[in-house]
Chain A
Amino acid sequence: MTTRGATGSEIGSRRLVERLLRSQEGIVFLLALAAFVLFSATLPSFLSAGNLLVLIRSVSILGILALGMAVVVIARGIDVSMIAVMVVSVSWAFVITRAGYPFEVALLIGAGFALVAGIVIGALIAFGEVPPIFATLAAGSVIYGTGRTFFFTLEMQNVPPDTDWFRLIGQGNFLGIPVTIIAFGALCIVVQVVLSRTRFGWTIYAMGNNPQAARVTGLPTRPMIVAQYAISAFIAYLAGLILASSAAAINARLFNSTMIYDILLVVVLGGIGLNGGHGSVRNVILGTVFVGILLNGMTILNIDYTIQNLVKGVVLLLAIVADSLVNPRDEQTSQQGDL
């Protein structure tokens, strides 16, 4: 027995590696570990507390948005309107404040708008039976257009003056850790609890795994869909507040950027497949951390910003290829028109 003990743990760890290699999540985890080790060894400024904090902080907003996206994706949906909801609701809150309303009230109004937007999108998908990709794509356009036409004229909205407490969210530190990271951590815990310990969360998994079966067994799929999109819109609003606070302004033109693809990158890289049914907050954290390590490492390596985008794209491509090899598309529950 004792002689086998040493080899036993060896076998154990080899089996662990094999098991990890079998899932995409595992592959990404190993890659992240490898990248971390590589960068720590070769780049002098990588493994310092300051740098690691910067790393997490730079992607925590992305991580928060990815949490919202993850909730929707696990239920076999997708939400590409998050950026539009984010910028329009936050910009509107700022415009209302400058028009004379108290800042807190304006923030509530912004939150209300985000929720309403999410509910309308969810209703379109649930009751109008519009495929989520088109509904959210078009809704993003509509929300952005509405915002620019009716709510505010200037695209760039600075944080209103005399709101110092707000500034703390994005730029403050608590016990040495930036508040942004704390917010991300808190939201992670909340979402994980909801997904794993409440009936709401279990329904989400059921809907993602086999929507027809979920409907047939009596789960309230349609109200659930509305709820999911409302949640993702609200999370987008929160992310927008943190973003505005850290940059001291919110720019509506973010809508035209490729930020939404970065969110998808985090979600898919982390291991949440787009056909839904599986995934958890752990995947989001993994994806966020991996993207953070990647970006940070590339920055320290002095790689040009545009080349970083290319690397991000190629990494995402490799991730989805790996995902499809490891989790081949289930022909039984996939349907015609399942893009």
Chain B
Amino acid sequence: MRLGLFGKALCAAAALALGLSLAHAQDKGLENPRSTTFHTALKGKKVVFVPLSMGFDLTEGWAAQMRKQADRLGYDFEIRDPAWSTDAGTKAIQSLISEKPDLMVIHNPDIQSYARLLKQAQAAGIKIVQINLESNTTTDSYVGADWTEIGRKAAEAIVERCGAGKGISTKVAIDTGVPTAASDVFQLHGIYEVLDAHPEIQVVSQQATEYNPEKARSIMATVLQQHDDLCGAIGIWDNQDTGTASAIKEAGKSDQVFLVTSGGGNQVGCENVKNGLFNLYISYNVPLQGDLLNQEIVRLLMSDATAGEIQTMYFNPLTLITPENVNQRNCWTLDDLK
């Protein structure tokens, strides 16, 4: 039909009006399919954490962060606490293998006890992330400290302090934790890599304290009586080395003995660095590990790969804390993470 001038003007006005009315609606953007998937894909899944034990800074810290993410993304997070008992831990994992959660986070008491069980769990289709203490079995993922690297760094610091002619003597004491744990086996290897290259360093004592600060204290007290010109000490964990440090302090040799330890970097450890109980603290940074752990959990839960098909690992960077760089960023408290 032929439109007159008036008709054309009317049409144009109508079009303009329509366009204007359409323009009134806001620009509501686009749905991000990745975000939707991210927030819904994990709902209803089950993640179980089997720590060495609850009740100390490392596991409480990781657990707090994992719980936060579980709440945020809507999956189920449980803890099976063996309370330091390897036997209870094995039982927990065995029962989990029949319960079949989607993912387990395992903290190994030593490198062998859970090895077979982890293989079985992977074969049963359960994805596994190992945190900080490894086992002989490689699983879907590992997040944690590189113990060999810690050992090397600790030994290097000792060599610097107690090498030939540098300190009061070249005597060094090493206190280990549980001889079959990853923190011991691999760390000792790293320590001796360095110490073997410096044969003048004399290891006067190497004893296991089983993570018990009272035992560490007794051992160090004995060692100091036997060698009162001790130059340095390497401890494998800050929780037990409070005992070592207190023995050194009691003997009045805090200025003489250079104590290197490692730990998760929590506030108490930092306090001990500030007040001179620890001379060098190698932190593997629990909050950072917690974040990495969370990321691995999400990645594995969302991945279509079968359990054990693809194996990754990430040894997180270490922070060397000395009295000079004790600060808010390097140290954390449990309340921060909750």
A residues contacting B by CB (< 8 A) are: 45, 51, 54, 58, 148, 153-156, 158, 171, 246-249, 251-254, 256-257, 259, 296, 299-300, 302, 304-306
The tally of residues in B whose CB lies under 8 Å from a CB in A reads 26
Known: A251-B214, A256-B84. 12 other contacts (CB 8 A): A58-B221, A153-B60, A156-B213, A171-B250, A246-B246, A247-B243, A257-B215, A302-B226, A304-B207, A305-B218, A305-B222, A306-B207
Residues of A near B137 (CB, < 8 A) are none
Q: What separation, in Å, do the CA atoms of A304 and B173 have in the docked complex?
A: 13
Which residues in A have their C-beta under 8 angstroms from that of B60?
153-154
Partner of A247, one of B55, B84, B213, B219: B213
Output the nearest chain B residue to A247 by Cβ-Cβ distance.
B246
- Asked if B239 is an interface residue, CB under 8 A from chain A, the answer is yes
Q: Is the CB of A248 within 8 A of B268?
A: no
B244–chain A nearest beta-carbon distance, Å: 11
Q: Inside 8 A of A257's CB, which chain B residues have their CB? A: 212, 214-215
B6 near A: Cβ within 8 Å? Answer: no
User: Which residues of chain B have C-beta atoms less than 8 A from A156's C-beta?
Assistant: 56, 213, 239, 242, 268
Would you call B171 an interface residue if the criterion is a C-beta within 8 Å of the partner chain's C-beta atoms?
no
Instruction: Collect the chain A residues with CB atoms within 8 Å of residue B242's CB.
Output: 156, 158, 247-249
Across-interface contacts of B249 in A (CB, < 8 A):
248
Q: Is the CB of A251 within 8 A of B226?
A: no
CB distance from B105 to the nearest CB of A (A): 19
A305 touches B219 (CB 8 A): yes
Bound CA–CA A305/B60 (angstroms): 32
Which residues on A sit within 8 Å (CB–CB) of B57? Answer: 154
Q: Which residues of B contact A (CB under 8 A)?
A: 54-57, 60, 84, 207, 211-215, 217-219, 221-222, 225-226, 239, 242-243, 246, 249-250, 268
A301 — nearest CB in chain B belongs to which residue? B226
Taking CB atoms, residues of chain B closer than 8 Å to A259 are 214
A161 and chain B: residue at smallest CB distance:
B271
Is the beta-carbon distance between A246 and B250 smaller than 8 angstroms?
Answer: yes
CA separation between A158 and B266, bound complex, in Å?
A: 13
* A269 vs B54: C-alpha distance when bound (angstroms): 38
Q: Determine whether the beta carbon of B56 is less than 8 Å from that of A299.
A: no
Which residues on A sit within 8 Å (CB–CB) of B214?
247, 251, 254, 257, 259
When distances are taken between beta carbons in the complex, the residues of chain B under 8 Å from A253 are 84, 211-212
Complex Cα distance, B226 from A51, in Å, reads 11
CB distance from B131 to the nearest CB of A (A): 19
Contact of A299 among B207, B211, B217, B225 (CB under 8 A): B225
Contact partners of B217 in chain A: CB under 8 A? 247
Quick one: which of B54, B55, B57 has the most chain A CB within 10 A?
Answer: B55
A3–B201 CA distance with the chains assembled, in angstroms: 66
In contact, B222 and A249 (Cβ under 8 angstroms): no
Contacting pair B222 A299 (CB below 8 A): yes
Given contact pairs A248-B242, A248-B246, A249-B242, A155 touches B56 in the complex (Cβ within 8 A)? yes
- Closest approach, in angstroms, between the C-beta of A42 and any C-beta of chain B? 15
